[in-house]
Amino acid sequence: MKTRTVRVSALVLTMALILGVMLYRLIQLQLIRGSQPVAQAVSNITRKYTEPASRGEILDRNGKVLAGNALGFSVQADYYRWEKQDQNDTLLLLWSILDQAGVACEDVLPLSMGWPTVYTYATLEGGEGRRLAKFMDERGWGSPEEITPGRLFNLLCDHYGVSGTLTLDQRRAVVGMRYYLDDHQFSAYNSPLTLASGLNTATVAKISEYGNDLPGVEIQVTDSREYPTASAAHILGRVAAINADEYAELKSEGYGLTDRIGKDGMERALESWLRGVDGTRVVEVNSHTGDVVTEYMVEDTQPGKDCYLTIDLKLQQRVEEALAETLEGIRIKGENSRTGDGADVEGGAAVVIDVNTGEILAMASWPTYSLSTYASDLRDNLENPLAPFLNRAVQSAYSPGSTFKMCTSVAALEEGIITPRTKIVDKGIYDRYADYQPRCWIYRQYGRTHGSINVSDALKYSCNYFFYEMGFQLGIERLDSYASQFGLGQKTGIELQNERAGILAGPEEREARGGEQWWPADTLMAAIGQGDHQFTPVQLASYVATVVNGGTRYRPHLLKRVAEHTDGQIVAEQEPEIINQVSISPETLEAVKKGMLGVVTEDGTASSYFVGFPISVGGKTGSAQMTNHSATGVFVSFAPYDDPQVAVCVVGEYASSGGSLAPVAIAAYDEYFGLGLKAAQQAAGQ
């Protein structure tokens, strides 16, 4: 019994001891050290960051990189560490460092640099102009139409508290960056925000030296767009920070206010393919020391797709070079001539198209610009009266001149008005109308005529009299029907933005532009490619391709295929798309081609340029008379004659004549067919 009592007592004592220890530990944890875990938890802050995905590359048809990625750096503003009180000082210091390094800050304020400042928005209906108008209205400042640019600049300086002791450039820089932060709704929800991209290691090191003076400014390792070639700028386009309007439109697709997107060209057209899927990185930071405790990816990035274009880089480079050299040669020749014709030549464009697929093999616009130095050249290019940013191949429309005569020929032949053997006597003066009697060019210049002439010879010698008669017998409705079938005066559907439709002359179009009456004389002018007709170079190239391939009109396009960046697997391929089938009989086709062959052989209007050329070519020259300027020249062509593969259109603003542009087409054929003419000419010292 005594033993049992001892055992019970020992058990009770043991339990009491255990409970005592547990109670002591509980008191220690809850009362004595209870604040420590809480403090530890509070001291560590977890943040989620978007990890940008690599953008897909743009390559030519042979796999040569046109727009790729290079490891680079961007400078960003982190809202968590941003000091609003001193942000003007922060931005000014950052701008000074970047400006010395030649790096442009993101700036969406549509006010020019320098003084006097001017508005740079294109319209108040959208884009930067609309956002500026809204910004001003919200602050009761009136509208840009009411407030001068200089007055607005002063209002912005006052609004942002920018010191008047700063230089004009410094004030404009700070105001622009502050406006950019507001435009992109910089906040805890939209952070970090990219302030500048394309930094090199020296600039990064310089910023790091001022670390304590740049609170909230961080360097981010990024992919920056790299352009291994100086060619195809108008085709490729550029990438830049998303703006507020674009964000509002694209946020449902997962875009953030810190993203960069394609702004124009194929960068924009292929945005959905080129853009990758961003990842998410979690970073745990000690709030007291700022040290990173841990970081990890919760969602991996997925790179964008690689997009192969239809253009051939070597051909593109050759055409751009030939276009620039030819236009410059025309200018010099004009300056040294008695008449001065061509001395006022300005811009131009050239398009090379596959006649059997609609693939654009080369597309040049001159003058051009550099994508690699876009930011630093921006002001000069904007002030250049020749408008380097304008893609004349798709955004400018020109009178086709006599290059329209193939359309008139097809219409007359297919409608049974003439046969390939029908001859018309050129009388020099077309006298069907008493009050309007236009003259054939040869009569006007030399006082003689082309005599009895058929359609092929009429094309060869560009006989206006013959085509006046064709226009008279066809009438404008039938003539326009064929022109429309060839796609003239309408957008081609090419992927590039802001394509112009141009103008197909006719009563309805004339009335739509102001109600002017259409006269019979207007039909005569339309038949020879003069008057109201205005077509883009890409339209003209497509039109010629449709004629010489027998009537199949393909949609001109620049995208060839899309592939995975990782393994090259093709995920999409652009097939030739037939837009229309024009009825062209074999007899009609042969008659038209024969006329185009005559243009570049014997005594045709461009024959002097093709003497000794090793392949058979067809072509047509055109000149559109301009008021107070030399004529705008147009040259269209195709090759080889017996089996057409490519068509070329070249336009020169105020180039005086279409024939003078033939060297651009010759250079294109030399490169495309591998003739080696340039190398041979250089070796011979020509």
Residue 190 has pLDDT above 90, yes or no: no
Residue 219's domain comprises 38-82+186-309
Look up the CATH number of the domain holding residue 672: 3.40.710.10
Are 257 and 145 part of one and the same domain? no
Number of structural domains, the chain? 3
Are 521 and 662 part of one and the same domain? yes
Read out DSSP for 266-288? HHHHTHHHH--B-EEEEEEEETT
Could you give phi then psi for residue 542, rounded to 5 degrees? -65, -40
Structure tokens at 33: 């050290």
Are 356 and 484 part of one and the same domain? yes
The reply to whether 450 falls in a domain is yes
CB 222 within 8 A of CB 239: no
DSSP state, 190?
A: B
**103 confidence band (pLDDT: 50, 70, 90):** confident
Report, as an integer, the average pLDDT of 486-490.
Answer: 97
Query: 3-class DSSP state for residue 503?
Result: strand
The reply to whether 376 falls in a domain is no
Are 503 and 599 part of one and the same domain? yes
What number of other Cβ atoms are within 10 A of residue 477's Cβ? Answer: 11
Indicate the residue among 170, 185, 200 that finishes a domain: 185
CB 553 within 8 A of CB 530: no
Residue 281 has pLDDT above 80, yes or no: no
Give me the pLDDT at residue 663, please.
Answer: 96
Cβ within 8 Å of residue 663, ≥6 positions away: 322, 325, 326, 329, 609
The reply to whether 19 falls in a domain is no
Give this prediction's pTM.
Answer: 0.82
Are 97 and 58 part of one and the same domain? no
Above pLDDT 70, what percent of the chain? Answer: 91
Q: With b meaning 16 or more CB within 10 Å and e meaning fewer, what string describes 551-589?
A: bbbbbbbbbbbbbebeeeeeeeebeeeebeebebeeebb
Are 208 and 224 part of one and the same domain? yes
Are 466 and 537 part of one and the same domain? yes
Q: Which residue has the higher pLDDT, 41 or 155?
A: 155
3-state helix, strand, coil in the chain (%, to 5): 40, 20, 40
* CA–CA dist 455, 363 (Å, integer): 31
Averaged pLDDT of the chain: 89
* CA–CA dist 566, 465 (Å, integer): 62
**684 confidence band (pLDDT: 50, 70, 90):** low
Indicate the residue among 153, 185, 217 that finishes a domain: 185
**417 confidence band (pLDDT: 50, 70, 90):** very high
Indicate the residue among 262, 284, 309 that finishes a domain: 309
* CA–CA dist 71, 65 (Å, integer): 16
The reply to whether 75 falls in a domain is yes
Give me the pLDDT at residue 58, please.
Answer: 97
Q: Which of 49-53, 384-388, 551-555 has the highest mean pLDDT?
A: 551-555
The reply to whether 436 falls in a domain is yes
* CA–CA dist 520, 524 (Å, integer): 7
Are 231 and 329 part of one and the same domain? no
The reply to whether 281 falls in a domain is yes
Above pLDDT 90, what percent of the chain? Answer: 63
Report, as an integer, the average pLDDT of 513-542.
Answer: 94
Residue 38 has pLDDT above 50, yes or no: no
CB 396 within 8 A of CB 363: no
Are 147 and 200 part of one and the same domain? no
Are 423 and 447 part of one and the same domain? yes
Residue 21 has pLDDT above 60, yes or no: no
Are 296 and 321 part of one and the same domain? no
Are 169 and 214 part of one and the same domain? no
Computed from CA positions of residues 254, 259, 263, 267, in that sequence, does the dihedral angle turn out positive or negative?
Answer: negative
- Of 291-300, 405-414, 537-546, the range with the lowest mean pLDDT is 291-300
The reply to whether 667 falls in a domain is yes
Q: With b meaning 16 or more CB within 10 Å and e meaning fewer, what string describes 305-341?
A: bbbbbbbbbebbbbbbbbbbebbeebbeebeeeeeeb
Q: How many residues does the chain have?
A: 686
- Of 115-129, 407-421, 591-605, the range with the lowest mean pLDDT is 115-129
- Residues 74-97 have pLDDT tens digits of 888 888 888 888 999 999 999 999
Report, as an integer, the average pLDDT of 300-318.
Answer: 94
The reply to whether 26 falls in a domain is no
Residue 148 has pLDDT above 60, yes or no: yes
Residue 165 has pLDDT above 70, yes or no: yes
